């Protein structure tokens, strides 16, 4: 699927086309992830929070650490944590050393949910199968270079 066919518009130059292509591809991937997470009743941003927490488990983290590590920097981490808490996937505790700080940890229920979602990793990866591992590495390097 070529961006020219998808957007059906004119581009000022290759850089403009690249920007549109990246934004379009982001939306395409986000839609795929949204469909995969829908049966689990979580969003891609909630999944991102859970993965960060699993990576830090068994240690607690702060909302600020979550904000730093989230893929979508515009997300409201506090609101996402609260939704996950209501579902029983995370717990929030006031830090005993600093009452202004809130510690967040993934629960066993949250860990089990991620184990179930891990079974879909191959399906998630399959949407990128049109690229070889070498091409994926090259694209990763180019995107890293783009962000400078």
Question: Which structure tokens are listed for 135?
Answer: 């091409």
Residue 94: its H or E element:
strand 90-94
Q: Scanning the structure block, which residue is given the tokens 């990246």?
A: 22
The domain made up of 41-122 is a member of CATH 3.40.190.10: no
Helix, coil or strand: residue 103: strand
The ranges of the chain annotated as CATH 1.10.10.10 are 41-122
- CA-CA distance, 85 to 46, in Å (whole number)? 11
DSSP string, 27-45: HHHHHHHHHHHGGGT--HH
The reported pTM is 0.89
Residue 92: its H or E element:
strand 90-94
* pLDDT tens by residue, the chain, 148 residues: 788 888 887 899 999 999 999 999 999 999 999 999 999 999 999 999 999 999 999 999 999 999 999 998 888 999 999 999 999 999 998 877 777 788 999 999 999 999 999 999 998 899 999 999 999 999 999 999 999 9
């Amino acid at each position: 699927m070529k961006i020219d066919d998808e957007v059906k518009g004119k581009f000022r130059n290759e850089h403009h086309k690249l920007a549109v292509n990246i934004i379009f591809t982001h939306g395409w991937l986000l839609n795929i992830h949204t469909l995969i997470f829908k049966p689990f009743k979580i969003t891609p941003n909630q999944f991102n929070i859970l993965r960060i927490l699993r990576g830090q488990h068994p240690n607690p983290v702060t909302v600020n650490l979550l904000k730093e590590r989230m893929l979508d920097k515009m997300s409201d981490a506090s609101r996402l944590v609260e939704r996950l808490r209501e579902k029983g996937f995370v717990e929030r505790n006031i830090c005993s050393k600093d009452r202004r700080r809130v510690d967040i940890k993934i629960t066993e229920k949250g860990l089990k949910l991620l184990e179930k979602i891990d079974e879909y990793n191959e399906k998630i990866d399959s949407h990128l199968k049109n690229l070889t591992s070498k091409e994926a590495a090259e694209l990763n390097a180019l995107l890293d270079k783009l962000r400078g």
